[in-house]
Amino acid sequence: MLNQRLREALPGAPGLSTDRMMRTGTSLRDTLSTGVWLCDGAMGTLLYASSGLDSCFDALNLSEPALVRSVHAKYIAAGADLIETNTFGANRFKLAPYGVQNHVVQINRSGAVLAREAADRSRREVWVLGAMGPLGRNLAPLGSVSPDDARSAFREQATALVETGVDAFVLETFSNLVEISLAIEAVRSIADLPIIAQMAFTDERVTFAGRTPGDVAQILRTLPVEVVGANCSVGPTILCDVLEQMQPVVGALPLSAQPNAGFPRQVGERIVYVASPAYMAQSVARMIQVGARVIGGCCGTTPEHIAAMRQAIDTASPAHRQPATHFRAPVIGPTPTANPWLQVPRTPLQRKLDRGEFVITVELDPPRGHSVEHLVQGAKILRDRGVDLVDINDGSLGRVSMGVLPTAVLIRERTGLDVNMHFTCRDRNLLGIQADLLGAHALDIRNILALKGDPPRSGDYARATAVFDVGAVGLIEVVRRLNEGLDAAGNRLGEPTAFSVGAALNPVADDPEREIRLLRRKVSAGAQWLQTQPVYDLEALDRFLSRAGGCPVPLIVGVLPLHSARHADFLHNEVPGIRIPEAIRARMRQASERALAVGIETAQQLVQEIRRRYAGVYLMPSFGRFDVVAEVLDAFW
């Protein structure tokens, strides 16, 4: 929530400085090519010490301008030649959780003004760098942010910084080469100011997307930037190793280094960085040796660290480096990969679909408590009716229930039935998704239905927080990579997994064109079959598929037996994705006491017709009535 001072500050931003607003950056571009220049240290570390972890640090530009200005002043007093605006996370996506996403312009302008005011008060030349970081959301296909949305967000932020007179840009802490390329493209589309482009690396000396320093340098050197480097995540020793691998690739292009003050550790409620100012200063000589010409600090560094590094730079004598020639290059795209499904062993479900055998699967909801006995008894009834596959739902209503993975394992072990495990993105971040998938594979759960998942507000916990690091398309992409032996960041995991993955289809979506585009994205990402929600009008399904140009993968059609007229009206009017023709609802009303029998007969007719036209049927018991589904199946056999 915004504090009162922020609310009062939002109507307007601080006035713009007029004496240095229109700088071209030419002098700084020349400056960055010669000598060694000291950047400031962590902004967030000092703001956290003053305002606490719950604050939106970027919004402090409006609510606590004196505090932000004082941090800049401390770094200038410590000897910094370059100071970064307090705008690292000031893009619409990162500001959204704090409710200030509509104030991108004010926050960035204020951040630039505060840095400029601090620089102008110095008795020496201090340059202002417009700081921009990642969006905080995954790009498609792993996430929902399209390249156009990313460019727009970066351009919005960069425009506000340029209009307020920054001297250059520092794009920092990026882990995705595509994302930083989009950011560079956005900045270059509005300004010809110098750009320092920095990626973050792990202690294994690769980015979080698995790219080596050489890979990163090879790409960034072709883009229109003045300096290439690394920052954050690791301390000076590892960062120097990274720059050492970059140096042979970048040629005459200057490098930059802004390490953390070592690795963090938790002391009580605080995160503490252990590298001392003296240790950071000792690392300066090696940074210069491996090519760094812009040197500063990131998380955990303070004015004391920067002062010590100032002294170390002043005693060093770096070799002169000629400015590099730069040119614009197209933004890179994802590296194409071969179709992994050609090599992945087929599951029994996939083999049935490949052979054209009709698939019958029945949905089981995990129990609200810790006993699966009711599910086991129901599953055995279904098994005796010839069902050999059950779908284990994954909390589709946003309610508390047993986890989907233990439910799936227990049902399989107690009944011998194969399972198709639904898997949603709501409750897991990207790390948790991959951990749970690897665990499922180790337990021999191989069929996955990739779903986005219902938001918590639709269930019993309206205030619960959803994750949604990735959507359904991104989840399919994650599974695809696991089947290649890679995690989502591109790191090798050893033995590849052997999942078969399906996706959901809503043929009665309010926006059919969007659903068709989503269908194509899911199939392109690797979905091997599709499952629908309950369908009561097969002609409408046919029309949708015709509009989509056909279904490129097998389709399993959902059927939910109706129990009463009230049940039918509720599903039709209150459940998204379900449309029941008026003729069926009228028939249920007319049936009166025989409504359940009529509902079973309707479901039987649908199943018989689906058998003639589609790859399978997905039966959903209402109210836990497995006996009703069993009756539907009696007519089938």
Same domain for 283 and 395? no
Handedness of CA 72, 75, 79, 81 (dihedral sign): negative
Query: Which residue type is seen at 35?
Result: G
Least confident segment among 30-34, 332-336, 368-372, 462-466: 332-336
Same domain for 384 and 466? yes
Average pLDDT on 216-245 reads 93
Same domain for 307 and 403? no
Handedness of CA 365, 369, 374, 380 (dihedral sign): positive
Q: Which pLDDT belongs to residue 407?
A: 93
Same domain for 123 and 242? yes
Same domain for 363 and 301? no
68 assigned to some structural domain: yes
If one counts the domains in the chain, the total is 2
Residue 242: Cβ within 10 Å count: 29
Same domain for 289 and 422? no
Q: How buried is residue 388: exposed, middle or buried, by Cβ count under 10 Å (0-12/13-18/19+)?
A: middle
607 assigned to some structural domain: no
* Mean of pLDDT over the chain: 85
Tokens of 589: 């009303």
pLDDT band with cut points at 50, 70 and 90 for residue 337: very low
Q: Which pLDDT belongs to residue 264?
A: 56
Same domain for 120 and 253? yes
591 assigned to some structural domain: no
Average pLDDT on 217-229 reads 95
Same domain for 420 and 293? no
Same domain for 281 and 383? no
Q: What is the domain-level CATH number for residue 235?
A: 3.20.20.330
Q: How confident is the model over 95-111, as pLDDT tens digits?
A: 998 899 999 999 999 99
The model's pTM is 0.62
Q: Is the pLDDT of residue 333 over 60?
A: no
Q: How confident is the model over 407-450, as pLDDT tens digits?
A: 999 999 999 999 999 998 877 888 899 999 999 999 999 999 99
Residue 193 belongs to domain spanning: 4-315
- Burial string for 457-485 (b: 16+ CB within 10 Å, else e) reads eebeeeeeeeebbbbbbbbbbbbbbbbbe
Q: Which pLDDT belongs to residue 339?
A: 41
pLDDT band with cut points at 50, 70 and 90 for residue 265: low
Under DSSP, is residue 618 helix (H, G, I), strand (E, B) or coil?
A: strand
pLDDT band with cut points at 50, 70 and 90 for residue 456: low
What's the CA gap between 565 and 357, in Å, rounded? 34
What's the CA gap between 275 and 296, in Å, rounded? 14
Same domain for 38 and 175? yes
Q: Is the pLDDT of residue 318 over 70?
A: no
Q: What is the domain-level CATH number for residue 493?
A: 3.20.20.220
Average pLDDT on 131-140 reads 92
What's the CA gap between 160 and 338, in Å, rounded? 42
511 assigned to some structural domain: no
635 assigned to some structural domain: no
554 assigned to some structural domain: no
Question: β-strands 264-267, 82-84: how paired?
Answer: unpaired
Q: Which pLDDT belongs to residue 268?
A: 46
Concatenated DSSP letters of 518-534? HHHHHHHHT--EEEEEE
Same domain for 61 and 146? yes
pLDDT band with cut points at 50, 70 and 90 for residue 273: low
Same domain for 138 and 225? yes
Q: Which pLDDT belongs to residue 56?
A: 87
